[in-house]
Amino acid sequence: MAYGWEGDKVRLVPIDMDRHLENYLVWLNDPEVTQWLLIGDFPLSRLAEREWIERAEHGSQTEIHFAIETLDGLHIGTSGIHDISWRHGIAQTGTVIGAKELWGKGLGTDATRVRARYAFEVMGLRLLTSSVIDGNERSLRMQQAAGYEVVGRIPGRYWKRGAFRDEILTCLTRDRWMSLQS
Rank residues 127 and 160 by Cβ distance to ligand COA and give the closer one.
Answer: 160
Does the footprint of ligand COA cover residue 139 (CB under 6 A)? yes
Rank residues 36 and 120 by Cβ distance to ligand COA and give the closer one.
Answer: 36
- Residue from 137, 151, 159, 181 touching ligand COA (CB under 6 A): that is 137
Does the footprint of ligand COA cover residue 109 (CB under 6 A)? yes
Rank residues 98 and 127 by Cβ distance to ligand COA and give the closer one.
Answer: 98
Does the footprint of ligand COA cover residue 170 (CB under 6 A)? no
- Secondary structure in 3-state letters for the chain: CCCCEECCCEEEEECCHHHHHHHHHHHHCCCCCCCCCCCCCCCCCHHHHHHHHHHHHHCCCCCEEEEEEECCCCEEEEEEEEEEECCCCEEEEEEEECCHHHCCCCHHHHHHHHHHHHHHHHCCCCEEEEEEECCCHHHHHHHHHCCCEEEEEEEEEEEECCEEEEEEEEEEEHHHHHHHHC
Residues that bind ligand COA (CB under 6 A): 33, 36-37, 94-97, 103-109, 132, 136-139, 141-142, 145
